[in-house]
Amino acid sequence: MGEIPVIQCRNLSRRFGSKTVLNNVSFEVYPGIIGLLGPNGAGKSTLIKLILGLDIPSSGGITLFGKTKVELGKIGFMPEAKAIIPSMKGFEFVAFAGELEGLKRKDALRRSHEILDCLSMGEARFRKLGEYSTGMIQKVKLAQALVHDPELLILDEPTAGLDPPARNQMLDYLSYFARQQGKSIVLSTHLLGDVQSVCDQVVVLNFGNCLASCSLETLVGNKENRYLIEIAGNQIDSISALGNLCIGTQDMGGFTKVFIQCESTAEINHIASQVLSAGGVIKKFIPLEGNLDDAFFALLDKQRMEKI
């Protein structure tokens, strides 16, 4: 990509006593929208705290825009928690965030109105935050992260609790700020659909390990000669019989989804006969389409299999 990475982690570890929350995590991401994915307890929140400089790594290091010292003024952060002052009006809260970022009161108020206009907050900005709906609170939280015009936005679950139209609107805003205003956005979420909709790059964490760090296209886009087989019957022997062709599995209870990568379509018949001869029953054998869900679960299952 030839640019300075927005975030670069090198062998980043964070331990709390005997518990390792992040284990030797290394990745680098570039300007754009970056999806930070992982199940609960994966280490996403800890990674965000380390990026924000609110925690110190046990080992390894982080650079932001090529610098090791975190410049909080360059970062806008939208926390997952409500984190509002209910007795403040919307525009006052955003201006307060601006003042904390170093803007003068007058400038903070002007920026607050600009951003809230941009987010279509209308007259609602003059109401107290305690009276806001979830969607409006998410917008105000996004506005306070943007008020000082940061280069990097870190958003923790920005679409949590939103109904589908509000969620789409939020994702549209994120795309607008990234594409039109050139901001880099780290989007930490559980919602794979959100990531697939707007992200350019993906970092996948699980149990403190970095399972993938690449462009979204690389993770889900190039599906040439990739197939999904749903295998019932003797699933374990069937998967073993596939050997290195298997790039991931997903246990579905009565059957297993197996993701395979082969050299050419000519191998398909051979693969099917391998499964059948191992005692497996093929329920479905289809070409794999670009789907983040499948790729994500395949990564998690692959990690699980490696542990076993």
Partner 1 sequence: MEFLKSFILGVKSTLAVHLFRAKVGHSLFWVSAGFLLLVAAVVVSVSFKNQWNYKTLKPRGQAGFNFKNSIEMIEACSMALGHNAGVSAVCSAVSGANSGLMIQSGFPVFTKNVVFSVLLGFLLPLWCLTFAVEGLGSEREGKTLFWLFSKPVPRSSIYVGKFLAILPWVIIWSLGGFFVLAVCAGDSGIFAFKLFWQPIALASITYASVFFFMGACLPRASLIALAYAFVVETLLGSMPGSLKQLSVAFYARCIMFQKSSDLGVVLEQGGGYGDFSQTMAICFMLGIALMFLVAGIFFFGKIELRGQR
Q: Which residues bind partner 1 (CB under 8 A)?
A: 16, 45, 49, 52, 54-55, 71-73, 75, 77, 79-85, 87-88, 96-97, 99-102, 156
Minimum distance, C-beta of residue 189 to partner 1, in the bound complex (Å) = 12
Instruction: Tell me which residue has tokens 């002007």.
Output: 110
Which CB atom, from 101 or from 294, has the smaller least distance to partner 1?
101
Which CB atom, from 145 or from 231, has the smaller least distance to partner 1?
145
Minimum distance, C-beta of residue 101 to partner 1, in the bound complex (Å) = 6
Minimum distance, C-beta of residue 123 to partner 1, in the bound complex (Å) = 22
Burial of 214 (0-12, 13-18, 19+ CB in 10 A): middle
Burial of 273 (0-12, 13-18, 19+ CB in 10 A): exposed
Which CB atom, from 95 or from 170, has the smaller least distance to partner 1?
95
d(Cα 226, Cα 222) in Å, to the nearest integer?
A: 9
d(Cα 110, Cα 217) in Å, to the nearest integer?
A: 39
In angstroms, what is the C-alpha Rg of the chain? 22
Minimum distance, C-beta of residue 77 to partner 1, in the bound complex (Å) = 4
**What is the number of other CB atoms lying within 10 angstroms of the CB of residue 26?**
12
Collapsing DSSP states into helix, strand and coil, what is residue 96? helix
Collapsing DSSP states into helix, strand and coil, what is residue 25? strand
Minimum distance, C-beta of residue 86 to partner 1, in the bound complex (Å) = 8
Closest C-alpha to 35, from 219, 207, 168: 219
Which CB atom, from 156 or from 301, has the smaller least distance to partner 1?
156
Which CB atom, from 50 or from 288, has the smaller least distance to partner 1?
50
Which CB atom, from 68 or from 180, has the smaller least distance to partner 1?
68
Minimum distance, C-beta of residue 89 to partner 1, in the bound complex (Å) = 12
Q: How far apart are the first and last CA of the chain?
A: 36
